[in-house]
Structure 1
Amino acid sequence: MSNSIAAIILTKNEDKHIARCIRSLEGICDEIFVIDSFSTDRTCEIAEALGAKVYRNPWKNYATQFNYGVYQCPIQSEWIWRIDADEYLDGNIGMAVKKALAECSQEVNGIYVRKRIDFMGRPLLHGGWYPSYHLKVFRRGHGDCENRWMDEHIRIFDGIAITVAEGNQVDDNLNDLTWWTEKHNGYAIREVADMLLMEYGMDAKAEEVQPKFFGTEEQRRRWLKLKYIKAPLFVRPFINFFIRYILKGGFRDGKEGFIWHILQGFWYRMLVDAKIYELKKRFDFDKERIKTYLIENYKQCANK
Structure 2
Amino acid sequence: MTVPSRTLPPALLLVGLGGALLSSSILAGATLLLAIAGGVFIARKSPYKAGWDTPKELRLLHFAFWFFVLVSVCSWLFEGFDYEGSKTLGSHARFLVFWPLVIALSYIGLRAQTMFVALGLVSLSAIGAFISALASQLWSVDHLLTMRFGGGINPISFGNLALLGGILTLVGASFFLRTGKRVPAALFAVAGVSAAVISMLSETRSNLVALPFLLLVCLPLVGKKARIAGLILIPVLLALAIVSGDRMAQSVQALMNGGTLDNGMAIRLEVWGLAWDMFMDHPWTGVGLGGYTHVIESAVANGDATQYLLTCCSGHAHSDFFNNAATSGIPGILSWALVIFIPLAIFARHLFSKHLPTAHLATAGVLVSVGYFFFGLTEATFNRNLFLTFYLLAIAGIASALFHELSASYVRQRNRKVSATIITKNEEAHIADCLKSARLVADEVIVLDSGSSDRTAEIAREYADVVEVTDWPGFGIQKQRALEKATGEWVLSLDADERVTPELAREINHHLADPDADAYKLPWAVTIYGTRLDFGRSGRAPLRLFRREGVSFSDALVHERILIPEGRKVKTLRGRLTHYTHRDFGHSLEKSAKYAWLGSLEKHRKGKKTRTMLYPTLRGLMTFVQVYFIRFGFLDGAVGYLTAVTYAQVTFNKYAGLWTLSREERSNKARE
TM range (shorter): 0.7 to 0.9
The answer to whether residue 640 in structure 2 is matched with residue 264 in structure 1 is: no
Amino acid paired to 2:652: M
The answer to whether residue 509 in structure 2 is matched with residue 104 in structure 1 is: no
Aligned residue for 2:495, secondary structure, equals coil
Structure ID, larger Rg = 2
Distance in 2 (alpha carbons) for counterparts of 1:37 and 1:61: 10
Which residue number in structure 1 is paired with residue 573 of structure 2? 165
Mean Cα displacement is larger for which, 53-62 or 129-138? Answer: 129-138
Q: Of Structure 1 and Structure 2, which has the larger fraction of its residues in strand?
A: 1
The answer to whether residue 442 in structure 2 is matched with residue 29 in structure 1 is: yes
Distance in 2 (alpha carbons) for counterparts of 1:55 and 1:147: 20
For structure 1, the residue ranges without an aligned partner over 5 or more in a row are: 202-228, 291-304
Distance in 1 (alpha carbons) for counterparts of 2:587 and 2:650: 14
Going from structure 1 to structure 2, the CA distance change for 1:247 and 1:31 (only over 3 Å counts) comes to closer
Q: What is the 5 A alignment of 1:208-247?
A: 232-247=615-630
Conserved 8 A contact 1:109-1:158: no
Conserved 8 A contact 2:528-2:580: yes
Distance in 2 (alpha carbons) for counterparts of 1:249 and 1:93: 23
Which residue number in structure 1 is paired with residue 474 of structure 2? 61
Which residue number in structure 2 is paired with residue 124 of structure 1? 533
Distance in 2 (alpha carbons) for counterparts of 1:250 and 1:144: 32
Which residue number in structure 2 is paired with residue 147 of structure 1? 555
Aligned residue for 2:522, secondary structure, equals strand
Distance in 2 (alpha carbons) for counterparts of 1:283 and 1:91: 50
Amino acid paired to 1:156: I
Which residue number in structure 2 is paired with residue 277 of structure 1? 659
Going from structure 1 to structure 2, the CA distance change for 1:233 and 1:162 (only over 3 Å counts) comes to closer
Amino acid paired to 2:639: E
Going from structure 1 to structure 2, the CA distance change for 1:51 and 1:194 (only over 3 Å counts) comes to closer
Which residue number in structure 2 is paired with residue 249 of structure 1? 632
Using the TM superposition, give the Cα deviation of residue 187 of structure 1 relative to its aligned residue in structure 2, in angstroms: 1.2
Which residue number in structure 2 is paired with residue 177 of structure 1? 585
Question: For each residue in 1:202-250, what CA deviation from the matched residue of structure 2 results, as whole angstroms up to 9, or x when unmatched?
Answer: xxxxxxxxxxxxxxxxxxxxxxxxxxx9x82322212321333245432
Q: What is the 5 A alignment of 1:6-17?
A: 6-17=419-430
Distance in 2 (alpha carbons) for counterparts of 1:239 and 1:26: 39
Match of 2:541 among 112, 122, 133: 133
Distance in 2 (alpha carbons) for counterparts of 1:47 and 1:29: 15
Question: For each residue in 1:230-283, what CA deviation from the matched residue of structure 2 results, as whole angstroms up to 9, or x when unmatched?
Answer: x82322212321333245432221221122111112x21222232122222223
Question: For each residue in 1:88-113, what CA deviation from the matched residue of structure 2 results, as whole angstroms up to 9, or x when unmatched?
Answer: 011421222122122126xx432222
Using the TM superposition, give the Cα deviation of residue 19 of structure 1 relative to its aligned residue in structure 2, in angstroms: 0.8
Which residue number in structure 2 is paired with residue 217 of structure 1? none
Distance in 2 (alpha carbons) for counterparts of 1:240 and 1:199: 22
Conserved 8 A contact 2:446-2:464: no
Going from structure 1 to structure 2, the CA distance change for 1:164 and 1:191 (only over 3 Å counts) comes to closer
Amino acid paired to 1:195: K
Amino acid paired to 2:442: C
Distance in 1 (alpha carbons) for counterparts of 2:518 and 2:550: 7
Aligned residue for 1:32, secondary structure, equals strand
Mean Cα displacement is larger for which, 93-102 or 40-49? Answer: 93-102
Which residue number in structure 2 is paired with residue 76 of structure 1? 487
**Equivalent residue pairs, number:** 254
Using the TM superposition, give the Cα deviation of residue 50 of structure 1 relative to its aligned residue in structure 2, in angstroms: 2.0
Conserved 8 A contact 2:527-2:579: yes
For structure 2, the residue ranges without an aligned partner over 5 or more in a row are: 1-413
Going from structure 1 to structure 2, the CA distance change for 1:246 and 1:40 (only over 3 Å counts) comes to same
Going from structure 1 to structure 2, the CA distance change for 1:36 and 1:123 (only over 3 Å counts) comes to same
Amino acid paired to 2:547: R
Which residue number in structure 2 is paired with residue 95 of structure 1? 506
Conserved 8 A contact 2:582-2:588: no
Amino acid paired to 1:44: A
Which residue number in structure 1 is paired with residue 452 of structure 2? 39
Going from structure 1 to structure 2, the CA distance change for 1:166 and 1:244 (only over 3 Å counts) comes to closer
Question: For each residue in 1:170-194, what CA deviation from the matched residue of structure 2 results, as whole angstroms up to 9, or x when unmatched?
Answer: 1113522222211221212221123
Distance in 2 (alpha carbons) for counterparts of 1:243 and 1:115: 16
Going from structure 1 to structure 2, the CA distance change for 1:272 and 1:174 (only over 3 Å counts) comes to closer
Conserved 8 A contact 1:97-1:164: no
Conserved 8 A contact 2:476-2:553: yes
Distance in 1 (alpha carbons) for counterparts of 2:538 and 2:583: 22
Question: With CA pairs under 8 Å and 6+ residues apart, which has the higher RCO, 1 or 2?
Answer: 1
Going from structure 1 to structure 2, the CA distance change for 1:103 and 1:126 (only over 3 Å counts) comes to same
Using the TM superposition, give the Cα deviation of residue 197 of structure 1 relative to its aligned residue in structure 2, in angstroms: 4.5
Distance in 2 (alpha carbons) for counterparts of 1:243 and 1:187: 19
Aligned residue for 2:525, secondary structure, equals strand
Taking every aligned residue pair, what percent have the same amino acid on both sides? 24
Going from structure 1 to structure 2, the CA distance change for 1:111 and 1:238 (only over 3 Å counts) comes to closer
Conserved 8 A contact 2:535-2:635: yes
Which residue number in structure 1 is paired with residue 523 of structure 2? 114
Going from structure 1 to structure 2, the CA distance change for 1:18 and 1:103 (only over 3 Å counts) comes to same
Going from structure 1 to structure 2, the CA distance change for 1:182 and 1:32 (only over 3 Å counts) comes to same
Using the TM superposition, give the Cα deviation of residue 60 of structure 1 relative to its aligned residue in structure 2, in angstroms: 1.3
Conserved 8 A contact 1:121-1:172: no
Using the TM superposition, give the Cα deviation of residue 39 of structure 1 relative to its aligned residue in structure 2, in angstroms: 0.9
Amino acid paired to 1:86: D
Conserved 8 A contact 1:109-1:142: no
Which residue number in structure 2 is paired with residue 221 of structure 1? none
Conserved 8 A contact 1:32-1:53: yes
Q: TM-score under structure 1 normalisation?
A: 0.75
Aligned residue for 1:55, secondary structure, equals strand
Going from structure 1 to structure 2, the CA distance change for 1:250 and 1:114 (only over 3 Å counts) comes to closer
Question: For each residue in 1:103-158, what CA deviation from the matched residue of structure 2 results, as whole angstroms up to 9, or x when unmatched?
Answer: 126xx43222222212222122223x444322211122221212222322212125
Using the TM superposition, give the Cα deviation of residue 2 of structure 1 relative to its aligned residue in structure 2, in angstroms: 5.0
Conserved 8 A contact 1:144-1:154: yes
Distance in 1 (alpha carbons) for counterparts of 2:504 and 2:445: 17
Q: TM-score under structure 2 normalisation?
A: 0.36
Mean Cα displacement is larger for which, 94-103 or 55-64? Answer: 94-103
Distance in 2 (alpha carbons) for counterparts of 1:164 and 1:200: 31
Distance in 2 (alpha carbons) for counterparts of 1:254 and 1:142: 42
Amino acid paired to 2:657: K
Distance in 1 (alpha carbons) for counterparts of 2:586 and 2:482: 30
